[in-house]
A = this chain, B = another copy of it.
Amino acid sequence: MAGRQDYISVQELDFDQQAEYQALIRDNPGDGAVVTFTGLVRNQNQGKRILSLTLEHYPAMTKKSLEQIVQQARSRWPLGRVRLIHRIGRLELGQQIVFVGVSSTHRQAAFEACEYIMDYLKTRAPFWKKEQTEEGDHWVEARDSDHHQAGRW
């Protein structure tokens, strides 16, 4: 079950890696493993040079879908704390897009749950990226490999 150990946020503001890590470990003496994933705007995608991204979402659905994904992860692995942040709006090259942090007693649960959350977020959470390139703007196409990865679990 998703519960008070979860923090889920959809926001325009940037997030702070150190603050997120501290929130995962502070007063948490039972968890020996912390895995984090951070996604950033990189300078190229599918062969095109990227200047910036704009992230659109479906506000009424976004947080609900992220909560469901975290809940599914909790039903599969014994997890301590889960923190999931997804940014929206315009993001420049090198900026942070998404953070997933998971703590657990042992490392395997933390690794697998963190990767599972990202795989499902990539295929089920209602976010869409529009890329700004030197040749103009265009919507990012979904990658088959993301569906393949989510299908593994």
Q: How far is the CB of A149 from chain B (nearest CB, A)?
A: 6
Known: A108-B149, A114-B111. A32 touches B39 (CB 8 A): yes
Q: Tell me the residues in window 17-44 of chain A with beta carbons closer than 8 Å to chain B beta carbons.
A: 17-18, 21, 25, 29-44
Known: A107-B37, A111-B37, A111-B115. A32 touches B42 (CB 8 A): yes
Asked if A125 is at the interface (CB within 8 A of a chain B CB), the reply is: no
Q: Looking at A30, A35, A107, which has the most chain B CB atoms within 10 Å of its CB?
A: A107
Secondary structure at the A interface, as helix, strand, loop or mixed, is mixed
Instruction: Say whether A93 contacts B18, CB under 8 Å.
Output: no
Beta-carbon nearest neighbor of A50 in chain B: B29
Instruction: Say whether A31 contacts B37, CB under 8 Å.
Output: no
Known: A35-B37, A114-B111, A115-B111. A44 touches B30 (CB 8 A): yes
